[in-house]
Structure 1
Amino acid sequence: MNKKIIIYVLGWILNMEAVFMLPPCVVALIYKETNGIWFLAVASVCGGIGFLCTRKKPANMVFFAKEGFVSVALSWIVLSFFGALPFYFSKEIPVFEDAMFEVISGFTTTGASILPDVESLSKCMIFWRSFTHWIGGMGVLVFILSILPLAGGYNMYIMKAESPGPSVGKLVPRVKTTAKILYGIYLFMTALEVILLMIGGMSLFDSLTISFGTAGTGGFGIKNNSMAFYDSYYLQGIVTVFMILFGVNFNVYYLFLTRHPKDALFSEEARAYLGIIGVSILLITINIHRGFGSVFAAFHHAAFQVASIITTTGYSTVDFDFWPEFSKGILVVLMFIGACAGSTGGGIKVSRVVVLLKAVKKELDSLIHPRSVKVLKLEGKPVEHQVMRSINTFLGAYIVIFIFSVLIVSLDNFDFTTNFTAIAATFNNIGPGLAGAGPAKNFSLFSPLSKYVMMFDMLAGRLEIFPMLLLFAPSTWKKS
């Protein structure tokens, strides 16, 4: 284990967090809020520790899978710990585990909140809360890779550990250039949404914070009733479209940029993702249309909630906990499917679901035709045995963690729907669940133990499980 390179990476994380805390300071100055001093104080501490950790490069700058995965897991824990301090020191969230829960929910783009009254927060705290979504959406280490060549070709291990999906490839030969392309697309799409929301009459502050939540598919509302506050089909429609766009694999956008629209349009995962969205919207619209004034209104709200749940954003325009059981069932299924690999969304990922369904079909065919030889393909390319093994292992770990999490949370003695959907919402980085964890409720009712379980689940879900599990494996810390 190359511990020096891990400390070096953590130092850069703290340096970046110090920079990220400056915009809330500016917001505090604009709105004349004294709580902005806490961001400045924590930024100074982060910058000081970061400087000490990065002032001298380690002699050995090369690291492998183990260092990459451990660096990512520890980076997100360190990022969350210091990110929670302004909430805690300002007493706007006076309980530390609540402050940690809120900021982990922000960085992991989950959007589950313990706050019963979001609007009581100061503007700088609301901004920071939403900004954590944008920071965590693409991944802070991906951002660092775009500006800092850490370890030659080996920094692909960091991108693999932090990027969602069964496998991560480079768009171009250099990882640094790949990271720059990803963040360039991310920044452009965010800026475009901000402009379109402002055209619809939304203020700059609201446009920025809502766009941060959409881009990171996080969904922290800045109003107590989330997007229902903005009673405008235009504004809600813009957010619906961008939630869907940010749930698409960013490789598709890269293909459009490089003038390969045919390859982009025929992306198997993207087509499956859009197909699931379309069918879900149609079924829910049919199921709920009697509860709305018109079919269009039902379609509008169905589209918004389907986009919000499958992309794991978590915004809401209505309290869908009052919808018919069939519609709620569809939304729960979408919680598990999630968005595309290589997007900012969470969940199991569409690509994994497609591969698993193809594997089932292949197995059924082999039972009927034992001598036939069929190759499992995705995007026209054979799925390697290593990828298939990784998907199966991921699914096994996912099920085990999910079951144990539900059991531990059940100690709070809430109903099954609340417990089950609370874990589904946090583990899949969605935000709202159903019943006691529904869109009109919050997570403050859970015990500290349950909150720590859900904090772990949020981090594990965002980092694709294995980086977090490796922290607890004794072999990780043994000398090679």
Structure 2
Amino acid sequence: MNKKMIIYILAKMVGVEGLVLLLPAIVSLIYREKSGFCFLIVSAVLILIYFLLGRKVPKNKRIYAKDGLVIVGAAWILWSLFGAVPFYISGSIPNYLDAFFETVSGFTTTGSTILTDIEVLPMGMSFWRSLTHWIGGMGVLVFVMVLTSLDDDDSMHLMRAEVPGPEADKLVPKARYTARILYAMYFVLTAAEVIFLMFGGMNFFDALLHAFSTAGTGGFSNKNSSVAYYDSAYIDGVITVFMILFGVNFNLYFLLRLRNWKEALKNEELHAYLGIIAGSIAIISLNIVGMYGNILHAFRYASFQVASIITTTGFCTANYNLWPELSKTILLCLMIIGACAGSTGGGIKVSRLLIMLKSIKKQVKNMLHPKAITIVKVNGKRINESTMKGVYIYFICYIMITMVSVLLVSINNFDFATTFSSVLTTLNNVGPGISQIGPVENFYKFSALSKIVFCMDMLLGRLEIFPYLLLLSPELWRRRF
């Protein structure tokens, strides 16, 4: 491992966070809020750390695959630890663990909250809270790569460790340029949503915050009742469409940009993703039609919540805790499935679901025809054994982490639906769950131990487990590097 390079990149990342904190400081200045000084203080400290540790480039700039995993895992923890400080020292969230929970929830685009009255937050704090979603959606390290000179070919190890899904590929030869292309598309979609929301009557500040949260598929709102506050079919429709768009693999947008329509539109994962959404909306609409009077109203609320849950955004326009058990069960399944690989959404990803289903089909065929040679293909491409092995190991780790987390959280002695869904919603980066952590509830009532478990689950879910398994490996720390 290249220890000096790891420290150098982490220091550079901390410095970038210091610069980013100037944005909410400016917002606080515009609204004449004293809490803006908290951002400036933390920003100054982080920039100082950069000058002390991140100015001198090491002679050996090589980044190995395991280095990438360590850097990404440590970077997300550092950004969350420092990002929580303004909430804490300003008094907006007086308990540091709660502030850390809120910040981890922001950067991991989970959207779970401990705040009982969001609307009392200063404007600068609300802006920072939603901005964490926007940065975390594409990835804090991808964000840093856009702004800095980390353009070495080996920096692709950093992207592979951070971009969700079974595989992460370059769009262009240089990883830094790949990051810039991703963020360009990300920015354009975000800006488009801001404009559409303003056409629906939102002011610029609200539209910007909700676009940040939609883009990152996070779900933080500056309103206590989330998107339901606006009670607008138009706004519901706009956010629904953009949630679905941000749940699509961004590689497909790049193909569309190159006018390669055929390859983009024949994507199997895209078809499965849209098919799951359409089927879920249809079933839930029919299941809740009696509660909303007519099919159009039922469709409006069903489509919003299905898009919100499968993309792991977590916005709400209805209290789905009151819906029939069939509808709630479907939403619970969507929490697990999640969005597409290479999107800003969480969950196990539709691509992994496809690979697992096709692997089961392959195994059945092998049992029926032992001498037959069968292979697993997605989008016409053969899935190699290492990718399939990675999917199996990921799923096993996912099940084990869920079981251990449920066991630890059960110490709080809440009902099983609350305990189980609280772990699912944090591990899959969704936000709200069911029962006592439904769309109109939050996580403030949980113990400190449970909040620590949730923070770890949110980080594990966002970085898809392996970076933190490596960080927790005793062998890593026993080695001299």
Asked if residue 416 in structure 1 is aligned to residue 413 in structure 2, the reply is no
Q: Which residue of structure 1 lines up, in the alignment, with residue 224 of structure 2?
A: 224
- Mapped pair 1:288 → 2:309: no
Which is further off, 204-213 or 27-36?
Answer: 27-36
Deviation at 1:466, TM superposition (A): 0.5
Provide the C-alpha distance between the structure 1 equivalents of 2:273 and 2:175, rounded to a whole number of angstroms.
27
- Equivalent residue, structure 2, for 1:92: 92
- Check if 1:166 corresponds to 2:161: no
Does the Cα contact within 8 Å between 1:66 and 1:476 map onto a contact in 2?
A: no
SS of 1:42 mapped into structure 2: helix
Aligned match of 1:136: 136
What are the equivalent positions in structure 2 for 1:380-395 lying under 5 Å apart?
A: 380-395=380-395
Q: TM-score, normalization: structure 1?
A: 0.99
- Structure 2, gaps ≥5 residues long: none
Aligned position for 1:249: 249
Residue matched to 2:192: 192
Q: Is the aligned partner of 1:105 residue 2:105?
A: yes
- Show the counterpart of 2:346: 346
Write the letter of the residue equivalent to 2:15. N
* Deviation sequence 1:404-447 (CA, Å, 0-9, x none): 00000000000000000000000000000001111110101100
What is the match of residue 311 of structure 2? 311
Structure 2 equivalent of residue 40 of structure 1:
40
Q: Which residue of structure 1 aligns with residue 62 of structure 2?
A: 62
Paired amino acid for 1:336: I
1:22 aligns with 2:22: yes
Structure 2: distance between partners of 1:16 and 1:201 = 34
Q: Which residue of 2 aligns with 1:154?
A: 154
Aligned AA for 1:224?
Answer: N
The DSSP-based 3-state class of the residue aligned with 1:444 is: coil
Who is 2:205 aligned against? 205
Per the TM alignment, residue 374 of structure 1 is displaced from its structure 2 partner at its CA by 1.3
Contact residue 8 and residue 57 of structure 2 kept, 8 A: yes
How far, CA to CA, are the matches of 1:152 and 1:40 in structure 2? 32
Residue aligning to 1:397: 397
Q: Distance in 2 between matches of 1:30 and 1:476?
A: 47
The answer on whether the counterparts of 1:111 and 1:218 sit within 8 Å (CA) in structure 2 is yes
Question: Distance in 2 between the 1:5 and 1:106 partners?
Answer: 27
Q: CA separation in 1, counterparts of 2:23 and 2:237?
A: 28
Aligned to 2:480: 479
Query: For 1:273-319, what per-residue CA distance to the aligned partner results, in whole angstroms no more than 9, with x for missing partners?
Result: 00000000000001001100321110011000000000000000011
RMSD of aligned C-alpha atoms?
Answer: 0.9
* SS, match of residue 196 in structure 1: helix
Q: Distance in 1 between matches of 2:260 and 2:163?
A: 23
How far apart, in 2, do the equivalents of 1:151 and 1:467 lie? 21
Q: Deviations over 1:9-58 (max 9, x none)?
A: 11111111112111111111121111111001101111111121111111
Residue matched to 2:452: 452
Q: Which moved more, 1:29-38 or 1:344-353?
A: 29-38
Counterpart-to-counterpart distance in 2, 1:465 and 1:392: 13
Could you state the TM-score of these two structures normalised by the residue count of structure 2? 0.99
Aligned to 1:2: 2
* Shift of residue 65, structure 1, vs aligned partner: 1.0
Secondary structure at the residue paired with 2:374? Answer: coil
What's the offset of the Cα at 1:222?
Answer: 1.1
Letter in 2 for 1:179: A
> Counterpart amino acid of 1:36?
G
Give 1:151 shift.
Answer: 6.3
Q: Using the TM superposition, give the Cα deviation of residue 147 of structure 1 relative to its aligned residue in structure 2, in angstroms.
A: 3.7
Letter in 2 for 1:479: R
Say which SS state the counterpart of residue 389 (structure 1) adopts.
helix
Q: Are 1:25 and 1:124, in contact at CA under 8 Å, matched by a contact in 2?
A: yes
1:367-378 equivalences under 5 Å are 367-378=367-378
Q: Take 2:480 and 2:275, find their aligned partners in 1: how far apart are those partners? A: 49
State the AA in 1 paired with 2:257: L
Cα drift, residue 362 of structure 1: 1.1
- Verify the 8 A CA contact 2:145 2:151 in the aligned structure 1: no
Q: 1:295 is matched by which residue type in structure 2?
A: I
Letter in 1 for 2:294: S
CA distance, structure 2, for counterparts of residue 45 and residue 232 of structure 1: 43
C-alpha separation in 1, matches of 2:395 and 2:233: 38
Q: Structure 1 unaligned runs (5+)? A: none
- Provide the rounded CA distance (Å) in 2 between the counterparts of 1:10 and 1:172: 25
Instruction: Give deviations 1:348-371, integer Å, cap 9, x for gaps.
Output: 000000010011111112112222
Range with bigger deviation, 56-65 or 332-341: 56-65
Give the aligned residue type for 1:244. Answer: I
Q: Is the 8 A contact 1:61 1:150 kept in 2?
A: no
Q: For 2:480, give the aligned amino acid.
A: K
Deviation at 1:146, TM superposition (A): 2.6
For residues 201-228 of structure 1, the C-alpha deviation after alignment (integer angstroms, 9 at most, x for no partner) is 1000000000000000000121111110
Query: SS of the counterpart of 1:445?
Result: coil
Deviates more, 1:425-434 or 1:360-369: 360-369
- Tell me the secondary structure at the aligned position of residue 397 of structure 1: helix
Separation in structure 1 between the aligned mates of residue 164 and residue 383 of structure 2, nearest angstrom: 17
Give 3-state SS (helix, strand or coil) of 1:254's partner: helix
Match of 1:358 in 2: 358
Q: 1:263 corresponds to which residue?
A: 263
Q: What displacement does 1:66 show? A: 1.3
Alignment check: 8 A CA contact 1:84 1:99 kept: yes
- Structure 1 contact 63–151 (Cα < 8 Å) conserved: no
Do the aligned residues in 2 keep the contact of 1:61 with 1:151 (CA within 8 Å)?
no
* Counterpart residue identity of residue 213, structure 1: S
Contact 1:248 1:342 in 2 (8 A): yes
Does the aligned pair in 1 maintain the 2:338–2:350 contact within 8 Å? yes
Question: Is residue 126–residue 222 contact of structure 1 (8 Å, CA) maintained in 2?
Answer: yes
State the percentage of identical aligned residues. Answer: 53
